[in-house]
Amino acid sequence: MDNFFLLLGMALFTLVLLCLYRGVFGPGVLNRMAGICAIGTKTLVILLLMGFIYNRVEMFIDISMVYAFLNFVGTITAAKYLEIKGEA
């Protein structure tokens, strides 16, 4: 079962790299923002998979909840900034 979680995590890591490419080189601010938000959700799942591998899910759930919340606040902040300043 650990190997399955490990493979799943590696697949998600590859997807994170693709999103990172979109975040760094993406044309325009909106593409960058979408890429970074996608990285946040994938990181959350990777954290939970790490919890399953180390048999400490209850510990990693705490971290992932905080991560999800801060990701939410960051998304709202970026969206509000773009709404007020316009797409730069």
Partner 1 sequence: MTRVTDDIIIRAVARILIPFIQLYALYVIMHGHHSPGGGFQGGVIMGASFILYLLTHGLEEAKTRMSEIRAGVFSSFGLLVYSGIGLLCLILGSNYLDYGKLSTVLKVIPAQARSLGILGVEIGVGIAVMAVMFSIFFDISTGGILPEDEEDLGARDG
Residues in contact with partner 1 by CB under 8 A are 58-59, 62-63, 65-66, 69-70, 73, 76-77, 80-81, 83-84
Q: How far is the CB of 85 from partner 1 (least distance, A)?
A: 9
**Which is closer to partner 1, CB of 58 or CB of 87?**
58
**Which is closer to partner 1, CB of 4 or CB of 81?**
81
Structure tokens at 78: 């970026």
Q: How far is the CB of 58 from partner 1 (least distance, A)?
A: 7
Cα Rg of the chain (Å, integer): 15
Q: How many CA atoms lie within 13 A of 49 on its CB side?
A: 19
Q: Give burial (CB, 10 Å; 0-12/13-18/19+) of 14.
A: exposed
Q: How far is the CB of 77 from partner 1 (least distance, A)?
A: 6
